[in-house]
Amino acid sequence: MAENEVYQYSIISALMDGVASHGTPISRVLEHGNHGLGTFRNMVGEMIVIDGTVYQMKSDGTVVLIDNPADTITPFATITRFRATTATQATITSKQDLSALLTRLFPSARNHFLAIRMDGVFKSINVRTAGGQLTPRERLPAVADRQTVHTFRDVKGTIIGFRSPDYIMGINVAGDHLHFIDEERKEGGHILAFETEGDVLVQVAQLSRFHVELPTEDEEFNEAALVKDEKGIAAVEG
């Protein structure tokens, strides 16, 4: 796939409906990019793809390098071959601040996608990690109810994520969806909030093509109602 296009496997409404027993090998996802996020079979942990390397950030606080992506399954992932078109050193004090900066940098992009990377030192960063389904088809909101929240302090690391347009809600997560991993690749998760120390480097690209691969021969997916639960998605993924 060309640079700066969105590829996603499955849709977020399927994950909401608990469709996570099957999926696609992560190696197939990596064919489409090097910068992304997602989850793993049975929603065990948060996925981050940074510079083409995949990590599984688990609810016990550990981070696992996925060195066998051909043998590891994801039921939902979003990725791009990232090439920043804008890079700026900025003082970003919070998640809200990053959000406002993105809007200032791309004032006409509300109907397009942005791929986002931010490198810096974090005074504190709050992340959550999903521990996984207790039973097949357990819905994401139930899984998220048991999520673990970690706070890391004085840590250097990277945010990887996407901003998606409102109309994509249900297919993917509208708004900003950001995961974090530290420089040592030992701590990370889905970002809830953060506070930085000094300047950070924010790199962004606008994406205008998106590609969706739906699960095939997957009865869970075929049978799911896939009703868009806008508030529910925002609550667990926003």
Q: Which is nearer to its own copies, 13 or 78 (CB)?
A: 13
**Residue 118 burial (10 A CB sphere; 0-12, 13-18, 19+):** buried
Q: Which is nearer to its own copies, 135 or 216 (CB)?
A: 216
Residues interacting with its own copies, by CB under 8 A?
Answer: 11, 13-14, 108-112, 165-168, 170-171, 208-216, 219, 221-224, 226-228
CB of 72 to its own copies, least distance (A): 21
CB of 210 to its own copies, least distance (A): 5
Q: Which residues contact 77 (CB under 8 A, 6 or more apart)?
A: 8, 9, 26, 29, 36, 37, 38, 39, 47, 49
Give the residues across from 7 on adjacent strands.
Answer: 79, 211
Q: Which is nearer to its own copies, 60 or 217 (CB)?
A: 217
CB of 110 to its own copies, least distance (A): 7
Sign of CA dihedral 184, 179, 69, 232: positive
> Which structure tokens are listed for 217?
């021969």
Q: What is the dihedral of CA 184, 187, 191, 196, to 10 degrees?
A: -50
User: Strand 53-57 relative to strand 63-65: parallel, antiparallel, unpaired?
Assistant: antiparallel
Q: Which is nearer to its own copies, 44 or 109 (CB)?
A: 109
**Residue 77 burial (10 A CB sphere; 0-12, 13-18, 19+):** buried
CB of 2 to its own copies, least distance (A): 11
CB of 93 to its own copies, least distance (A): 29
CB of 222 to its own copies, least distance (A): 4
Q: Which is nearer to its own copies, 1 or 44 (CB)?
A: 1
Q: Which is nearer to its own copies, 18 or 132 (CB)?
A: 18
